[in-house]
Structures are given as C-alpha cells and as structure tokens.
Amino acid sequence: MLRRPGSGTRSSIAQPALLGKLNAYQVLRVLQPGQELSRAEIARSSGISAPTVSRAVESLLQAGLLEEMDAREAVPGRPARKLRLARISAQVVGVVIDAEECTVSVAGLDGRATSETVIRFATPPDYDELISDCVAAVGRCTSASNITTLGVGISVPGLIDARNNMSILSPNVPQTNGHSPAADIGALLPYPCVMIHETQGLCLAESRYGAARGRDDFALLDISTGIGLSVMDGGRILSGHSGLAGEIGHITVDLHGRQCGCGNKGCLETVASDTAMARQVGAKLNCHVTIEQVLAMARSGEYWPEEELSGLLDYLAIGVAAIVNLFNPGAIFIYGRLFELSDRVFQDLIERVRQRTLPPSFADCDIVRAQANKLQAAHAGIIEHLVDSVAPSFSAMSSSGTTKDRKPHH
C-alpha cells in the first residue's frame, strides 16, 4: 500500500517554514531517482536528526512528492518502511513542442515513465490549434490511469521570458511567439502548467537522470532542432539578466550564410544542427528529408552524408570550443541525433574541438554524449517547479534574497 496525496483536482502544495523547506530539500537530495530509503537511512545520509527528517518527510508526503512503501515491500529483515520519490501515487505530464512534432507522456516524480502511452502529433502551424491539440493529448494521457496528476511541464524552443512566462522569439516554432503556452494550456486544465526552455530542461534532466548526475558544473549543448546552450554552475543554471542566456546558436559564423529563422544570416544553428544536416542532405538529393530519414539512409547504405557531415562538424567544433574556452566547464554533454550515424562521428567532433580549444581548458573538460531526452526535459521542468514550491534549495533562496547565511537545522 502507498500513501497517496490529498484528493482534489489541483495539488495542494504544503508550505512549511523556511527551515522546514531547507530540511525538506535535503531529504529530496538524498532520495535521488531510484533510491528507496527508510527515515533512519535518510537521517544517516543527510546528517539531519531523526525527528527533523520525520517532519520533513510528512510535509513531502502531504505535497505528494514522496510515497511510502508498505512494510511488506521492504527488504526481508529490515521491516522499516521505505520512502521514494512518488511514481505510483503521483505523476506529472511532459509536453514537448517542437518544430515538426509534439510529444506528450506521463512520468513519476523520479522521471520514470508511468505509462507506455506516448502521444505524438504533427505540430500545427496555427497557435490555437496547437494549444487545443496539446490539451487533448494531456487529457488522453491522464485519463489512462487514476494516478493523481500534480502538474504539466511544457518544453519549448526559442527565447523564453521566464518572468512573464512567455515565448518571445522561437525561430523554429514561430507560432508561439508572443504567447504563453503554459498559461493557455493551464487555463484549460485542472493542473499547474510550467513552461521551460528545452535546453534548460535538457540540462535539468541530464543532471537528474542522465550522465551529469553528481556534477554541479557542466554545460549542456542541444544541437537538435536548433542549437541551444545551458550552463550549470555550482548546481544552478546560469540564466542571464533576463533569463535569455545560452543562445549560442545565434552567433554568426558565416557572414554571407543562410538566413536564420531569427532574421540574421549565417547563425551557427543554420550550419551545425540536426536540422541543418537534414536540410543539406535534402538539397543534395533534391527532396525534403528529416534527420530520421537521413539516419535511415545512412544505415541502409543508400546515402552517406560524408561532405555534409565534414562541414557540419567543423562549424560545430567552433561552437563547442567557444564553450570550453569561455566557461571552462568540467564537462559538456551534447544532445543530437546526428551522432547516431556512427560512433566515429562523435570522436571526430572531439578531435576537431581539441584542435580549436586552449589546451589546458580542453584537457580539463570531458565531452560526452547526453543521455537525457526532450520528454525527460519537460518532466524535469515541472518536477523542479513542484519541488521548489515545497523545498527550494538553499542556494536558490539565497540568490532570491529569501534567506541569508542560514543553514538547515540539524
């Protein structure tokens, strides 16, 4: 048996006092995805006293972020009830709005899928139709089970005004410009909805569920539809003055290049993304192709994009080298489909980056393929929002002026 959150269509987020929030955050840090621990084990791992852990756990159970396993599910000889991030008693919905296709699915608070249902549909060119289709897909996903839904995370490419929850400029999904998909979808659903820039979402997902777990300083480069960068510094994403940081895809690399969706010419994403690869192959073959079709043709031996790939990797290496030289990250995780062509493609990129990077910075940086995906990014966005509502991190509260020079009570 699992303890479930309170009834009602909208989640009731508990609001413990400041120290309680800090302690709740420590509990959540210990209960990473996949961990199942008793209260005593949490106390030992976190260094927080047992009574304080119990209070924090109760607030998190009430909020629906944790679930408690029945003693009969515990390991033999250790009858204490285990706690874990909710995945049977509660779920979240992820909505990925992308250039050609939208994807919707549900997951537990640990980021794991709670249903095999994944809904995909072509991205409508009309904004109102896009919102309507997203709402319908969320309804189909949530109606497939009686699990309590705590919220919806919406991943969107382009410039996002986080303060006003609005898409400012999306070269690849221009129908969202000047609109707030989260507000408009949320107005039609009984759940809180949060919009997140897809690259920031990928950064969170890589940190929570991917190869960046345990790292506080790294960069995530998304080269799929366009090119976006998210930098994690000291466990926090660098957002910039207006929340618009990371648009490395719109750095000019070819003064006389192709016009980008942003209005400029020769942007990095016009020559170094999955979309750019598909466009170049399509021009060579005189037909429209997607990156999935490029991969299929390469696997079947029908067409190998040798010339297109070489030029793309040169430009991409310039972008990656700039990230290494500018930010000196401990690691860069790169998300993109074109590396599925073969293992040597990624190794080729690393060698080209080495040739363009300051040697000490290159030697101190791991360049790795990302493991997270865009659905996990959307899930991570809403999970982060729900966690921050109950247990914001100490660093987040310090930066917002909520607290100063305070630590959790032990």
- Alpha helix (H) residue ranges in 269-371: 274-285, 291-300, 306-327, 343-356, 359-363
Q: Which of 58, 85, 112 is the last residue of a domain?
A: 85
Question: Are residue 119 and residue 177 in the same domain, yes or no?
Answer: yes
Question: Are residue 103 and residue 132 in the same domain, yes or no?
Answer: yes
For residues 106-122, average pLDDT = 91
Cα–Cα separations (whole angstroms), residue 140 to 88, 133, 145, 182, 291: 18, 11, 10, 18, 28
Domain assignment of residue 389, yes or no: no
**150 pLDDT exceeds 80?**
yes
Give the three-state DSSP class for 340: helix
Residues in a beta bridge with 156: 197
Contact 260, 269 (CB under 8 A): yes
Which tens digit of pLDDT belongs to each residue from 300-311?
A: 999 999 999 999
**402 pLDDT exceeds 70?**
no
Question: Are residue 225 and residue 363 in the same domain, yes or no?
Answer: yes
Question: Are residue 272 and residue 350 in the same domain, yes or no?
Answer: yes
Domain assignment of residue 401, yes or no: no
Q: What is the pLDDT of residue 14?
A: 43
Placement of tokens 């990250």 in the chain: 329
Strand order in the sheet with 331-335: 236-237, 228-233, 218-222, 331-335, 366-369
User: Of 85, 87, 103, 86, which is closest to residue 95 (Cα–Cα)?
Assistant: 103
Q: Report DSSP letters for 145-163, one per residue.
A: S-PEEEEEEEEE-SEEETT
Domain assignment of residue 8, yes or no: no
Establish how many alpha carbons lie within 13 A of residue 181's alpha carbon, considering only the half-sphere containing its beta carbon: 35
Domain assignment of residue 62, yes or no: yes
Question: Are residue 271 and residue 290 in the same domain, yes or no?
Answer: yes
Question: Are residue 286 and residue 306 in the same domain, yes or no?
Answer: yes
Phi, psi of 250 (to 5 degrees): -110, 25
* Total domains in the fold of the chain: 3
Give the three-state DSSP class for 79: coil
Domain assignment of residue 11, yes or no: no
- Alpha helix (H) residue ranges in 94-158: 127-142
Q: What is the pLDDT of residue 235?
A: 83
Question: Are residue 106 and residue 49 in the same domain, yes or no?
Answer: no
Q: What is the pLDDT of residue 381?
A: 93
Q: Is this model's pTM higher than 0.75 or not?
A: yes
User: Of 71, 68, 48, which is closest to residue 58 (Cα–Cα)?
Assistant: 68
Non-local CB neighbours of 224 within 8 Å, separated by 6+ positions: 273, 274, 275, 291, 335, 336, 337, 374
**156 pLDDT exceeds 90?**
yes
Question: Are residue 218 and residue 285 in the same domain, yes or no?
Answer: yes
Domain assignment of residue 207, yes or no: no
CA 31 to chain centroid, in Å, comes to 19
More confident residue, 393 or 135: 135
Q: How far apart, in whole angstroms, are the C-alpha atoms of residue 267 and residue 260?
A: 6
Q: How far apart, in whole angstroms, are the C-alpha atoms of residue 278 and residue 249?
A: 17
More confident residue, 171 or 2: 171
User: Counting Cβ atoms within 10 Å, is residue 404 exposed (0-12), middle (13-18) or buried (19+)?
Assistant: exposed
Give the three-state DSSP class for 362: helix
Q: How far apart, in whole angstroms, are the C-alpha atoms of residue 277 and residue 290?
A: 9
For residues 339-365, average pLDDT = 96
> What CATH number is attached to the domain comprising 352?
3.30.420.40
**Which domain does 35 fall in, by range?**
18-85
Question: Are residue 63 and residue 146 in the same domain, yes or no?
Answer: no
Question: Are residue 166 and residue 196 in the same domain, yes or no?
Answer: yes
Q: What is the pLDDT of residue 146?
A: 84
Question: Are residue 232 and residue 173 in the same domain, yes or no?
Answer: no
> What CATH number is attached to the domain comprising 22?
1.10.10.10
Instruction: Identify the sign of the CA torsion 54, 397, 386, 215.
Output: negative
Other beta carbons within 10 angstroms of residue 188's beta carbon come to 14
Which tens digit of pLDDT belongs to each residue from 190-244?
A: 999 999 999 999 999 999 889 998 898 999 999 999 999 999 998 888 888 777 8
Q: What is the pLDDT of residue 93?
A: 97
